[in-house]
Chain A
Amino acid sequence: MTILEVVNVSRDVTWLPWAVQYFFLVGLSVAGFLLSLPGLAFGARSQRGFGRNALIGALACGLVAPVALLADLHQPGRFWRFYTNPNLGSWMAWGAFFIPCYVGGLLAYAWAALRGDLAAAGQGDDLVSRLRRLIAAGGAPAPRLTKILAGWTVVFGLLILLYTGMETMVVRARPLWNTPILPLQFAATAFTGAAGLTLLIARLRGDTTHAGDAVAARAMTAALLATIALGLAWFALGIFGLSDIHARALASVAGHRAWQVTAVWAAAATALPLLLLWLRPPGWAWLVGLLGLHAAWMFRWTVFIGGQTVPKTGAGLYVYQLPLGHDGLLGIGGSLGLWLFVFVLITTLLPDPVASRVRPALAPAE
């Protein structure tokens, strides 16, 4: 029997590129924060520079991510209803509480971890120095406070990873999303992106060290290997029929040429940075950093935008063309522009990396 679909409708993508930006940025933020812990909260002195760069990335991404999420509400002014009418049976409702707890904790942790650096750099009379002194509020090292705040932020950071994964995973109507591996894939690709972002931030700030690059390379290698393992497990569970859920997920996309191309692209986006991390050719860090970000972003784009082009009842795929306005390209560019602004703001406030390296005594005591 053959069926030709003669009349049907195409449903619009309703989780817009803003949602991709949110999941991308908040994932990078949490992973970057977690990568910063050994150097900034647990006294691994060799990782302090790496930790500082990872934290800068986490801050910039963590501050911009909620803006992208608000924009995806189709009318951001309604966000207050999340707090006045919460339905606590919904993962999204919990997310509305986790986000401010995480971002607040991240800011407090960053302040506690970096206030010594800020105070040391705020010795002059210029406006930035005075601002640094004001923010440092004395600047005495506070390792215990840093650890307490790190603990708070770890809890809510992990809850962010949990809710963003679960929020998508529980949607049974979309077989591609409805697999227990998806939250783990979000987490693994977030670490890939965060390690790549840290490599790039180190270069943008002129704060590259062999030790820092080695930590970033180790983190990204581990994340890429985890991504490959999860991807293979997802595919094997589906293709061999070991799990109905995964078989349905695979079947929902396997027959479409566009998805076959996407699969090859995803495999290349994972294998190529791994190869570069192994070979370390000149300029590897720039390339690997960008590829790491690409892997994290592309995974979310494929899951969210690609996933919404799979009809729930109809045949074929819905067509999606990226709009040029605020719901599309302008939104993506705008959120990246906001990220750049926050990054410049943070790096303007923080001391010059070379100067901070010659003042090691002002680093928080262990």
Chain B
Amino acid sequence: MPDSRRDFLRGFAAVTVGAAAVAPAGAAPTPQAAVSPDKTPRWAMVVDVAKCIGCQSCTVSCIYENAVPEDSFRTIVSTYEVQEGDRAAMVMLPRLCNHCADAPCIPVCPVGATFQRADGIVVVDADRCVGCAYCVQACPYDARFVNHGTQKADKCTFCAHRVEAGLLPACVESCVGGARIFGDLDDPKSTVSKLVAKGDAKVLKPELGTRPHVFYLGLDDRLTGKVEGEPTLWHPTGRETHA
């Protein structure tokens, strides 16, 4: 049952958040611990690609935490087999909303339902959303979709409800390899700001100037944009078609 499953995950999350709070650097600190009470944080995520094992536990935990409907995803780990010469390797690329500072989904919304909170999280006011899907078109990261249940725009919220309660986003909480690190980018002592400050973190599609706030460590430049590769295995017919 989803409800009991969610309850189970919540209970599990509470235990692991406690563990994270005392974990050494590299593990994600709890948002509560990273925020000073008189300053609004700027939430961001760093993804260490080398630590991701492609287990999709983030994908599953997100679905349960946020009641994401069947066939839709707020986050997914894109998985690629990269071959160079006689060497081959699996490369994982966790994808989610980038909570861009200049989010292209915001200005196109005809009713102002999509907006950015003071803490940088881009959210959708579901009461106001008309389901026109203009934001879905405008997002360069394919991070949005129309929820089949609500018929409104849906996307990752960095689990804002959990963050407000002092918890980590579900995907961070459940990440087996500790690949996802969440925290306040404006806090120089936070793990995310230290990692980003090193200067080798990358963002997806930097040329668009959207200033994403999901950063990637160890990501090959050839995977930062639209991946030019062999089509994915989920293609049901093995043929290309669009009409």
Closest beta carbon of chain A to B143's beta carbon, Å = 9
With A82-B111, A173-B104, A258-B241: A313-B81 Cβ-Cβ less than 8 Å: no
Query: Which A residues have a C-beta under 8 Å from some C-beta of B?
Result: 1-12, 14-15, 72-75, 78-79, 81-82, 85-87, 89-93, 95-96, 167, 170-174, 177, 252, 256-259, 262, 301-302, 305-306, 308-320
The answer for the CA separation of A3 and B226 in the assembled complex, in Å, is 12
Q: Of B90, B130, B204, B240, which one neighbours A6 at CB under 8 angstroms? A: B90
The answer for the CA separation of A259 and B223 in the assembled complex, in Å, is 24
* B77 surroundings in chain A (CB, below 8 A): 7
With A3-B80, A9-B73, A317-B240: A81-B232 Cβ-Cβ less than 8 Å: no
The answer for the CA separation of A128 and B234 in the assembled complex, in Å, is 59
A79 touches B227 (CB 8 A): no
* A256 surroundings in chain B (CB, below 8 A): 240
* B160 surroundings in chain A (CB, below 8 A): none
The answer for the CA separation of A167 and B128 in the assembled complex, in Å, is 20
The answer for the CA separation of A305 and B228 in the assembled complex, in Å, is 21
Cβ-closest chain A residue relative to B95: A313
Residue B133, interface by CB 8 Å = yes
In the complex, the 10 A-B pairs of residues with the closest C-beta atoms, listed nearest first: A316-B231, A3-B229, A14-B133, A74-B131, A7-B79, A173-B140, A93-B110, A309-B242, A5-B232, A74-B151
Residue B39, interface by CB 8 Å = no
* A313 surroundings in chain B (CB, below 8 A): 78, 95, 141-142, 204, 225-227
Residue B214, interface by CB 8 Å = no
The answer for the CA separation of A72 and B80 in the assembled complex, in Å, is 35
Q: Of A5, A14, A81, which one neighbours B146 at CB under 8 angstroms? A: A14
The answer for the CA separation of A15 and B139 in the assembled complex, in Å, is 14
The answer for the CA separation of A148 and B136 in the assembled complex, in Å, is 40
A2 touches B230 (CB 8 A): yes
Question: What secondary structure prevails in chain A residues at the interface with B?
Answer: loop
In this complex, the member of B76, B84, B243 whose beta carbon has the largest number of chain A beta carbons within 10 angstroms is B243
* A85 surroundings in chain B (CB, below 8 A): 111-113, 128
B136 touches A14 (CB 8 A): yes
Closest beta carbon of chain B to A326's beta carbon, Å = 13
B132 touches A1 (CB 8 A): no
Closest beta carbon of chain A to B151's beta carbon, Å = 4
The answer for the CA separation of A252 and B242 in the assembled complex, in Å, is 14
A1 touches B133 (CB 8 A): no
The answer for the CA separation of A177 and B140 in the assembled complex, in Å, is 13
Question: What secondary structure prevails in chain B residues at the interface with A?
Answer: loop
A78 touches B130 (CB 8 A): yes
Residue B108, interface by CB 8 Å = yes
Cβ-closest chain A residue relative to B139: A173
B235 touches A170 (CB 8 A): no
With A315-B230, A317-B242: A4-B80 Cβ-Cβ less than 8 Å: yes
* A92 surroundings in chain B (CB, below 8 A): 108, 110, 132, 134
Residue B54, interface by CB 8 Å = yes
Cβ-closest chain A residue relative to B108: A90
A4 touches B234 (CB 8 A): no
* A12 surroundings in chain B (CB, below 8 A): 71, 145-146
B242 touches A8 (CB 8 A): no
Cβ-closest chain A residue relative to B54: A7
B130 touches A73 (CB 8 A): yes
* B233 surroundings in chain A (CB, below 8 A): 5-7
Residue B82, interface by CB 8 Å = yes
Residue B107, interface by CB 8 Å = yes
Provide 29 A-B residue pairs closer than 8 Å at the C-beta atoms, listed in order of the A residue.
A1-B84, A3-B81, A3-B83, A3-B223, A3-B227, A4-B82, A6-B233, A7-B78, A8-B76, A8-B79, A8-B232, A9-B73, A12-B145, A14-B133, A14-B136, A14-B145, A73-B131, A73-B132, A74-B151, A82-B111, A262-B243, A306-B242, A312-B142, A313-B95, A314-B227, A315-B231, A317-B240, A317-B241, A319-B241
* A174 surroundings in chain B (CB, below 8 A): 137
Closest beta carbon of chain B to A346's beta carbon, Å = 30
* A11 surroundings in chain B (CB, below 8 A): 136, 142, 145
A316 touches B232 (CB 8 A): yes
Closest beta carbon of chain A to B126's beta carbon, Å = 11
* B109 surroundings in chain A (CB, below 8 A): 87, 90
A173 touches B138 (CB 8 A): yes
Q: Of A10, A87, A302, A317, which one neighbours B112 at CB under 8 angstroms? A: A87
Residue B15, interface by CB 8 Å = no
* B80 surroundings in chain A (CB, below 8 A): 3-6
Q: A11-B145, A311-B226, A315-B227 are in contact. List 16 more A-B contacts (CB 8 A).
A: A2-B230, A3-B223, A3-B227, A4-B82, A7-B79, A7-B234, A14-B137, A82-B111, A87-B112, A171-B138, A313-B95, A313-B225, A316-B232, A316-B240, A317-B231, A320-B241
8 A Cβ contacts from B185-243 to A: 204, 208, 222-223, 225-237, 240-243
The answer for the CA separation of A308 and B113 in the assembled complex, in Å, is 23
B242 touches A314 (CB 8 A): no
Closest beta carbon of chain B to A72's beta carbon, Å = 7
B226 touches A314 (CB 8 A): yes
In this complex, the member of A3, A72, A257, A308 whose beta carbon has the largest number of chain B beta carbons within 10 angstroms is A3
* A177 surroundings in chain B (CB, below 8 A): 137
